[in-house]
Amino acid sequence: MTSLAIDNIGLLVTNDPTLGEGPLGIVRDTALVFEDDRVAAMGRPGPDTDRRFDAAGRCVIPGFVDSHTHLVFAGDRAEEFAARMAGQPYEAGGIRVTTEATRSAGTEELRELTAQRRMEAQRGGITHIEIKSGYGLDVPGERRLCEIAAEFTDDVTFLGAHVVPREYEGRADDYVDLVCGEMLASCAPLARWIDVFCEEGTFDADQSRAVLSAGRDAGLGLRVHGNQLGLGPGVRLAVEMDAASVDHCTYLDDTDIEALAAGHTVATYLPATEFSTRQPYPDTRRVIDAGVGVAIATNTNPGSSNTTSMSFCIALAVREMGMSVDEALLAATLGGARALRRDDVGCLAPGARADAIVLDAPSYLHLVYRAGVPLVGATFAAGREVWTSNPIPS
Ligand code: NIG
């Protein structure tokens, strides 16, 4: 067993209200002790602790849990982004552009691109990540993306139902049969989740239900992309099928909010998507006040949200979507864990995975107050220091 103490913490966010003040469970002037990959204790470390990291009065928070990413892709759509900034609308059809680039890329190239993005995310404090397929859109292509994703996380999502590929134009039902049959059989052993983009122009309610049912029968948990481009059946379908999360939620009406409030599906917001598509920011207040569990995720992808920065997403959620800083921090940590139906990440209680961020700031408020400044001084994942601007001498 190896032990590590993060010592001289000025302000510790545990996300466990039984351990400290308020919903964030804040403890001041303390230390955190890790044994192997778990949180062992809070408070003064014993003299026999193997290694020490001096937080020097800084703030320590749980690692960010990013519950929605499309990390495995090739190519770039910067021109499309620039056109949107000049007034063009976002169109889901861009997914096919990235599918072509991804199909053409070698496996080693895709693995290296994914590793670089994963490292960038860790530098920004993301200690747990979900990764979707969805840019292969044929059996070997989706399988290849799931295999690469599985090298980086145990939360792999099979998203064969991302968009209907060009070769199935006008034959969406045939493509859904492929997704639910051979493609699912090939990808399910590598995945924990199945997802579908339920939206006008991609998959309708019946097609989405067929995909989710087939995934459930194959032993996968359910996730839905819903209500991104307009009102529609995505949110209600997700709740009806007890999906763990419905992601985007940009357009919600009262019926959607009532359904969410009556169910167990987390509403996951992706603020960098509204930033990058120029769609309106959703008002999270109505949803939070209705008692719905919420998460914030980055939605890293080359089309609608090419960022790995959870700090940026938190700042947008506070500035543009009606969340308080405390709510946004909870949504980016514990909220993400709940959206992935996990209880081992998203908090710093004894027994939890030792995933923590040392901020170069006295308080987590600075994540928003000093928006745009890289404040992650060190990232610890499963008890290991995976990024620091100031390494511990070994
Ligand atoms: O979550 N909505 C569908 N999928 C991605 C967009 C992917 C793309 O444009 O390439 C999203 O926003």
Note the pLDDT tens digit of each residue in 337-381. Answer: 999 999 999 999 999 999 999 999 999 999 999 999 999 999 999
Which of 284, 246, 290 has the alpha carbon at shortest distance from 266? 246
Distance, in Å, from the CA atom of 64 to the CA atom of 355, rounded to the nearest integer, reads 8
For residues 82-103, average pLDDT: 94
**Residue with the nearest Cα to atom 6 of ligand 1?**
304
Whether 383 and 249 share a structural domain: no
Same domain, 317 and 351: no
Q: What is the mean pLDDT of the segment spanning 130-141?
A: 98
pLDDT tens, residue by residue, 284-306: 999 999 999 999 999 999 999 99
- 49 domain residue, yes or no: yes
* 153 alpha carbon – ligand 1 mean position (Å): 20
- The count of other CB atoms within 10 Å of the CB of residue 199 is 22
pLDDT of residue 389: 83
- Look at residue 92 in the predicted model and tell me its pLDDT: 81
> What CATH number has the domain bearing residue 212?
3.20.20.140
Residue to mutate, 145, 275, 301, 305, ligand 1, most ligand atoms under 8 Å from C-beta: 301
The distance of Cα 33 from the centroid of its chain, to the nearest Å, equals 26
Q: Are strands 356-359 and 376-381 parallel, antiparallel or unpaired?
A: antiparallel
Q: Give me the phi and psi of 357, to 5 degrees please.
A: -120, 135
238: Cβ–Cβ under 8 A, 6 or more apart, which residues? 198, 222, 223, 224, 226, 245, 246, 265
Atom of ligand 1 nearest to the CA of 73: 10
For residue 145, is it within any domain? yes
Q: Are residues 308 and 328 in the same domain?
A: yes
CA of residue 95 to ligand 1 center, whole Å: 7
Residues 29 and 72 in one domain: no
For residues 130 and 259, state if they share a domain: yes
**Residue with the nearest Cα to atom 12 of ligand 1?**
304
Q: Do residue 48 and residue 71 come from a single domain?
A: no
- Residue 128 CA to ligand 1 center (angstroms) comes to 20
Ligand 1 mean position, distance from CA 303 (Å): 6
Pocket lining: 234 vs ligand 1, CB cutoff 6 Å = no
Half-sphere exposure of 7 (CA within 13 A, CB side): 14
Asked if residue 393 is part of any domain, the answer here is: no
Residues 6 or more apart from 42 whose CB is under 8 A from it? 12, 14, 19, 27, 30, 31, 32, 33, 348, 350
Residue 297: inside a domain: yes
Q: Are residues 7 and 29 in the same domain?
A: yes
Q: Which residues contact 217 (CB under 8 A, 6 or more apart)?
A: none
Kindly state whether residue 75 falls inside one of the protein's structural domains: yes
CA distance 284 to 145: 32
Reported as a single tens digit per residue, the pLDDT across 220-269 is 999 999 999 999 999 999 999 999 999 999 999 999 999 999 999 999 99
Structural domains in the chain (count): 2
Task: Tell me if 42 sits within 8 A of 12, measured CB to CB.
Answer: yes
Q: If you measure from the C-alpha of residue 210 to the centroid of ligand 1, how many angstroms do you get, rounded to a whole number?
A: 21
The reply to whether 394 falls in a domain is no
Q: Measure CA 375 to chain center.
A: 19
In a domain, 317, yes or no: yes
Give the closest residue to 47 by CA, choosing from 12, 7, 14.
7
Specify whether 383 is located in the same domain as 270.
no
Residue owning tokens 């200690």 = 127
pLDDT given for residue 392 in this prediction? 56
Question: Which atom of ligand 1 lies closest to the CA of 95?
Answer: 10
- Indicate if 81 and 58 belong to the same structural domain: no
pLDDT at 391 over 80: no
| pTM for the full predicted model | 0.97
**Domain co-membership, 231 together with 328:** yes
Does residue 269 sit in the same domain as residue 121?
yes
Give how far Cα 128 sits from Cα of 14, 64, 75, 81, 109, Å: 16, 7, 24, 27, 23
Domain holding 75, by residue range, is 65-339
- Residue 28 near residue 58 (C-beta atoms within 8 A): no
The domain that contains 23 carries what CATH number? 2.30.40.10
Which residue's C-alpha comes closest to atom 9 of ligand 1? 303
- d(CA 11, CA 19) in angstroms, rounded, equals 13
Question: Measured from the CA of 90, which atom of ligand 1 is nearest?
Answer: 9
Contact criterion met (CB below 8 Å) for 62 and 14: yes
The verdict on residue 246 lying in a domain is yes
Average pLDDT, integer, range 198-208: 97
Residues 268 and 319 in one domain: yes
